[in-house]
Structure 1
Amino acid sequence: MRKHILTPLLALLLVFSLIVLPVSAETTSNERVINTQGTGTITTTPDRVEISVAVMTEHADVRAAQRENAVKMNTVMNALKNAGITSDDIKTTGYSIYQVTKDGSSVFPTERQAQVYRVTNTLMITLKDTTKAGDIIDIAIENGANNVNYISFTLSDEKQASFRAEALKEAVAQSRSDADVVAASLGLSVRDVKEVTIGGGYYPTSARYDSMMYAAGMEKAATPIEAGEVTVSATVSITYLC
């Protein structure tokens, strides 16, 4: 009795599969698409600069190295604040203590190496006026900083978002223009958009800076720093239906 019930069901499922599958295949084969990519690039002047400076001290006594470092870093931070840098624009980005081996001045080989503790405190300074970068570097070095790690010119979040939007519009326009040209060459026309993928990014410029301690009696010269330009770019990959 059960065999007579299952057989009609199997036959019915087979009929549905024969009807549905060819329709799906026909729709896919008749879908005409054009894939294009577009790139938009906006070049502008940066309105932010980030400067990484550090105070490094060494001593055979780790506590002495820490105390000396703290005194120097406090002097640096006070000098920066006196120059108009707010607390919101100064933040500690690194602090390390480790033991290093240094060559001593003894004439005896067994005494030529000495173990000292090196303490490094790293500070990030953010400026809204890029023309002051050189002055701030000089102030930091003159007041105890003995390492400038890097300088990075960037854009504020507001400007980055604005220029990113412009770059995306430019990328989409380029992509659509290419699609229209290709479609017309084939005797077709773009009728809709099937898929969009957004890529690209924002690339700030950066410059390395090799700091040098001012020797006694050495004339101090202002540090020249040029902001240059930054580029905001965006890419899109669009699939059009024809």
Structure 2
Amino acid sequence: MRGKTALLGIALMVLCAAVIGNVTAQTQEESKDKLIHVSGTGKVTTTPDQAVIVLAVETENADVSAAQQQNARQMDAVVNALKGAGIPAKDLKTTGYNIIPVTEQNEKSLVASKVKFYRVVNNLEVRLNDVSRAGEIIDLAVANGANRVDRFSFTLSDAKQQELRSQALTAAVKQARGDADATVAALGKTIVDVKEVNVGNNYVPMLYDNRYMGMEKATAAVPTPIEVGEIDVTATVSVTYVIA
């Protein structure tokens, strides 16, 4: 019995050695590849096709219910005016609602400060697919009760982002291959295959117009001018080529 066990153990050791030898041989064979690693960046410049405006209605009153009701009336008027101007309900979204008690400052007393009044702030995000209407929409909202513009930005729709990302990736690959060709040619070698490709994340910046950030008690005596400008879509790739 011991003899059979010993023979079985020897057989297992031989099998393991064969497997290890095979793995080592493959690793050594793979390591013989001569490689070059390069990266490329592609950029496509375009005009934004979407605007995002975050408006706010801010009201104040010593009676919190009165402040809420006034705020609700003004925001209803803003929303109805925007819908009447052709903005779909799906492009209007409440992004914040706050009731803030504003207290008197009493440095001499340790007792909790008395509430002077309540401030109610309701934020509404408006997404425009026609950027040329941005100024018009701001003026319309202000005329109907909005008294703050908390954020204004230009960006790209999902469909345009995907379209331009493909173009940026093509440009990035061309740049990477051009750098690889030039380097390999200088070494007297040639590219024979692609071993690995890694695609970086897409980056689409948002252009902000700071003229409207934190605007309080906004007025619109004249039409609000909005300049769209341009925006860049970039993409990166890293490529490993096999050379000979």
RMSD: 2.4
Q: CA deviation at 1:195?
A: 1.3
Q: CA deviation at 1:6?
A: 4.0
Q: Which residue of 1 aligns with 2:95?
A: 93
Q: Which residue of 1 aligns with 2:2?
A: 2
Give the unaligned 5+ runs of structure 2.
Answer: none
Does structure 2 retain, via aligned residues, the 8 Å contact 1:46–1:155? yes
Name the SS of the counterpart of 1:191 in structure 2.
strand
Task: Give the direction of change, closer, same or farther, for the CA distance of 1:15–1:124 in structure 2 (3 Å limit).
Answer: closer
Task: Give the direction of change, closer, same or farther, for the CA distance of 1:94–1:17 in structure 2 (3 Å limit).
Answer: same
Once residues 145 and 182 of structure 2 are traced to their aligned partners in structure 1, the CA distance between those partners, rounded to angstroms, is 63
Task: Give the direction of change, closer, same or farther, for the CA distance of 1:83–1:187 in structure 2 (3 Å limit).
Answer: same
Task: Give the direction of change, closer, same or farther, for the CA distance of 1:42–1:76 in structure 2 (3 Å limit).
Answer: same
Q: Please show how residues 176-195 of structure 1 align to structure 2 within 5 Å.
A: 176-195=177-196
Once residues 237 and 75 of structure 1 are traced to their aligned partners in structure 2, the CA distance between those partners, rounded to angstroms, is 53
Percent identity between matched residues is 45
Amino acid across the alignment from 2:217:
M
TM-score (norm 2): 0.85
Task: Give the direction of change, closer, same or farther, for the CA distance of 1:31–1:142 in structure 2 (3 Å limit).
Answer: same
Q: Please show how residues 153-172 of structure 1 align to structure 2 within 5 Å.
A: 153-172=154-173
Q: Please show how residues 132-211 of structure 1 align to structure 2 within 5 Å.
A: 132-199=133-200, 200-208=202-210, 209-210=212-213, 211=215
Give the unaligned 5+ runs of structure 1.
Answer: 105-109
Q: Please show how residues 211-230 of structure 1 align to structure 2 within 5 Å.
A: 211-213=215-217, 220-230=221-231
Q: Deviations over 1:53-84 (max 9, x none)?
A: 01011222221111111001011112222323
Q: CA deviation at 1:8?
A: 3.0
Q: Deviations over 1:5-55 (max 9, x none)?
A: 245325523652574254134213311111110000001111111110010
TM-score (norm 1): 0.86
Task: Give the direction of change, closer, same or farther, for the CA distance of 1:139–1:102 in structure 2 (3 Å limit).
Answer: farther
- Mean CA deviation greater in 32-41 or 89-98: 89-98
| Count of aligned pairs between the two proteins | 233
Task: Give the direction of change, closer, same or farther, for the CA distance of 1:190–1:102 in structure 2 (3 Å limit).
Answer: farther
Q: Deviations over 1:89-132 (max 9, x none)?
A: 2221211223222569xxxxx9x964322211111111122122
